[in-house]
Amino acid sequence: MIYLSLFWEFLKVGMFAFGGAYGAIPLIKESVLAQGWLNEAMFANMVALSESTPGPIMVNAATYIGASQAGVLGAVVATLGVILPSFIIILLVTMFLRKWLKHRNVQAVLRGIKPCLMGVILATGIYMAFTAVLGGAGSITFDWIALVILLVLAAVSVGYPLIRKKEFSPTLLIVLAAVIGAVLY
């Protein structure tokens, strides 16, 4: 039964997660917490782990949660559930809808979806920052080290482009966060 639950929950995530992985985090959180597979603190750690490992966050999260709940077969089932909708959609798009993607109305819909996705991604980032600094919803604990890391990363992300006139590499930002975290923790 756990395999069916893992497949179904991650199939829903794969079907309704528009905007990529960061847009999927709220859906994954809702499913995982509702099923009792992880608590909020464990979920925040899982997101951090999924972001720091190679590959798409949705796939990493599905694999991690599937493995934690039902071993290797659970990881395979959850991963299959999350990638199946995208696979089918891309297959159908390439087969039937290729000419429609350039249509003016389709492009208008896609442009309209972008601000919504940006809002979901921003809300997810804010939630993750507050969770890291203040802890989960159940118990509020202030983490000064997480705040320092957050402020340093924000300063680098905003300041570097202003000074150097080019963006700071996301890979270097991840390495910087890892080094600061290793030193301070």
- Render pLDDT for 81-91 as a digit per residue (tens, 0 to 9): 999 998 998 88
pLDDT in tens, 94-117: 787 777 878 899 889 889 998 988
* Residue given tokens 């957050």 in the structure block: 150
Residue 142 has pLDDT above 70, yes or no: yes
Looking at the chain, the whole-number percentage of residues with pLDDT higher than 70 is 96
Q: Name residues whose C-beta falls within 8 Å of residue 20's C-beta, 6 or more positions apart in sequence.
A: 56, 58, 117
Residue 60 DSSP symbol: H
Return left, alpha or beta for 53; rule: phi > 0 is left, psi -120 to 50 is alpha, else beta: beta
CA–CA distance, 136 with 138 (Å, rounded to integer): 5
* Residue given tokens 């499913």 in the structure block: 31
Band the pLDDT of 138: cuts 50, 70, 90.
Answer: low
Contact in structure between 75 and 3 (CB atoms under 8 Å): no
- Residue of 3, 127, 136, 134 whose CA lies nearest to 62: 3
Mean pLDDT of the chain: 87
Contact in structure between 152 and 140 (CB atoms under 8 Å): no
Band the pLDDT of 5: cuts 50, 70, 90.
Answer: very high
pLDDT in tens, 44-83: 888 888 877 777 888 889 999 999 999 999 999 999 999 9
